[in-house]
Amino acid sequence: MANQDAFVAFERVQKSYDGETLVVKDLNLSMPKGEFLTMLGPSGSGKTTCLMMLAGFETATHGEIKLDGVSINDISPHKRGIGMVFQNYALFPHMTVAENLSFPLEVRKMGKSDREAKIKRALDMVQMGAFAGRRPTQLSGGQQQRIALARALVFEPELVLMDEPLGALDKQLRETLQFEITNLAHELGITVVYVTHDQTEALTMSDRVAVFDDGRIQQLAPPDELYEKPQNSFVAQFIGENNALDGTIQEIRGDRCTVRLESGDVIDAVPVNVSKVGEKTRVSIRPERVEFNPELGPDAHTLQAEVLEFVYMGDVFRTRLRVAGRDDFVVKTRNRADQIRLSPGEKVKIGWLPEDCRALDAP
Ligand SMILES: Nc1ncnc2c1ncn2[C@@H]1O[C@H](COP(=O)(O)OP(=O)(O)O)[C@@H](O)[C@H]1O
Ligand SMILES: [Mg+2]
C-alpha cells in the first residue's frame, strides 16, 4: 500500500528508553482506514511501546508517525483524537459510569445535552444502558471492560487503540467480547490497533496481524497467510503448533529444494527463507498436514515413525512420534469412524506433500 493512502503510518520508527538499547528497531507499517490490525508477540517484544508512541504518551527516538498523512510527532496525546482501552480498565473509581463517559466529552468542551445523547448511545452500543448510575466497583470485570470500551468510543474517534483489553477476563467472556469488539469496530468503521500476546485472539479478530519479536515485525499478513505461509522459523513456531526438523540444503530448483535432515533422511520442501546449497535450514510442517499410511501420490514423502503418545482430544487425535531422530513430532488427525487409534510403541509410516513443508531459516 502506498503511504499516501495510509490512515496510520509508522515510518522507520525506532525507540530507546535508555539511549542505548533499541526496543523498537525499525518499524514500518501502513494501515488503511477501517482496518483491524493486531500486534501480536511475546512479552517484551515492543508492542505496548509502539501503541504508546502512536497514542503520544511516548516519543519516537527516530522516524515518523503519521495520521491521515500528517506527522503527529509533535501533537500532544489529547489532540490526536484517539480512543484507548487497556487491560486494567482504568475507569475512575469515584465516578459513576455516566460520569466516566462524560469525562472525555467535557475535555472536548461538549455541551450537556449533546453529552447525554452521546453517553446514552455509547452505553447502548455495549449493552450497558441500564448501568449509567453505577460505580465501577459495582460492576463485574466484563461489565467494567464494556464501560472502558464505551468510554473509548463515546467521542466517536476514528482510531482506537487497545492494549490487552481482555487479558484479565475468563475464557468465555473473552470470546464474547472479542466478537462484540470486532463487530462494533466494523459497524462503526473505526480503525483499530489491538495488542495481544494471545495468538487465537489475534487470528480470530484481525484483518491483519503484525507478529513482533525483539523490536521488529517478523511478519505482517492476514491470519490465514500467517498460519499457512510463515516466512521464518519464529513465526512458524509462534503461530499454532508446528513440527520443526533441522537439516542442510542440498539442492534448490525453482519452487522446490532438497533437504538432508540431521537423521540422514532426504526430503523435498518449498524454499522460503533459504538461498544456497550447504546452508542450514529448519523445515516446518503443520501437524494436520501429516498423514498416517499415506496415499498422497508419488510426490509425497514417507518416513518411518514410532508412536510415543496417543491423546484423544474429542474432535482430534494428537499423536506424538519419534521421527528423524526427534521425539516431539506431532500429528493431528480428525476423529472419524475409520481413523485408527494408535498405541505407544507402534511403528507407523507417515507422509506429507512437499508443498506443505517449508524450508525456513535455521535459528
Ligand atoms: N517506560 C519504560 N522504561 C524503560 N524500559 C521500558 C519502558 N517500557 C517498556 N520498556 C522495555 O521495553 C521493552 C519492550 O516493552 P513493551 O513495549 O512493554 O513490550 P510488550 O508490550 O511487547 O510486552 C522491554 O524490554 C521493556 O522492559
Ligand atoms: Mg505490553
Report d(CA 285, CA 199) in Å as an integer. 18
Place of cell 498422497: 296
Fold designation for 8-228? Rossmann fold (3.40.50)
Distance (angstroms) between ligand 2 centre and the Cα of 15 equals 15
* Rounded alpha-carbon distances, angstroms, from residue 156 to 151, 205, 317: 10, 21, 47
* Cβ–Cβ < 8 Å for 194, 39: yes
Report d(CA 337, CA 317) in Å as an integer. 12
Residue 129 has φ and ψ, to the nearest 5°, of -55, -30
Cα 26-27-28 angle, rounded to 5 deg: 120
Ligand nearest to the CA of 210: 1
Give the model's pLDDT for residue 88: 66
Other residues' Cβ atoms within 10 Å of the Cβ of residue 88:
13
Distance (angstroms) between ligand 1 centre and the Cα of 24 equals 9
Mutate to test the pocket of ligand 1, among 13, 49, 50, 238 (most ligand atoms within 8 A of CB): 49
Give the model's pLDDT for residue 173: 84
Other residues' Cβ atoms within 10 Å of the Cβ of residue 195:
24
Regarding the domain with residue range 241-361, which homologous superfamily does it belong to in the CATH classification? Nucleic acid-binding proteins (2.40.50.140)
Mutate to test the pocket of ligand 1, among 20, 21, 23 (most ligand atoms within 8 A of CB): 23
Q: What is the longest distance spanned by two Cα atoms in the chain?
A: 76
What is residue 180's three-state secondary structure? helix
Q: Whose CA is nearest to atom 6 of ligand 1?
A: 17
Cα 307-309-314 angle, rounded to 5 deg: 120
Distance (angstroms) between ligand 2 centre and the Cα of 52 equals 10
Burial 2-21, CB ≥16 within 10 A → b, else e? eeeebbbbbbebebbeeeee
Mutate to test the pocket of ligand 1, among 10, 48, 217, 218 (most ligand atoms within 8 A of CB): 48
* Cβ–Cβ < 8 Å for 24, 44: no
Under DSSP, the state recorded for 133 is T
Distance (angstroms) between ligand 2 centre and the Cα of 45 equals 8
Q: Whose CA is nearest to atom 26 of ligand 1?
A: 44
This prediction's pTM: 0.90
Q: Whose CA is nearest to atom 4 of ligand 1?
A: 17
- Residues shown for the chain: 363
Give the model's pLDDT for residue 310: 96
Which of 8, 35, 80 is closest to 191 using CA atoms?
35
Report d(CA 336, CA 19) in Å as an integer. 58
Give the model's pLDDT for residue 4: 61
How do the pLDDT tens digits run along the chain, 363 residues long? Answer: 555 679 999 999 999 999 999 999 999 999 999 999 999 999 999 999 999 999 999 999 999 999 999 999 999 988 898 999 987 657 899 999 999 999 989 988 999 999 999 999 999 988 899 999 999 999 998 899 899 989 999 998 999 999 999 887 888 888 988 998 999 899 999 999 999 999 999 999 999 999 999 999 999 999 999 999 999 999 999 999 999 999 999 999 999 999 999 999 999 999 999 999 999 999 999 999 999 987 777 767 789 999 999 999 999 999 999 999 899 999 999 998 887 789 999 999 999 999 999 999 998
Distance (angstroms) between ligand 2 centre and the Cα of 47 equals 6
* Cβ–Cβ < 8 Å for 324, 290: no
- Ligand 1: list residues with CB < 6 Å: 17, 23, 41, 43-49
Mutate to test the pocket of ligand 1, among 17, 47, 88 (most ligand atoms within 8 A of CB): 17
Domain ranges, ordered by start, for the chain: 8-228, 241-361
Give the model's pLDDT for residue 338: 80
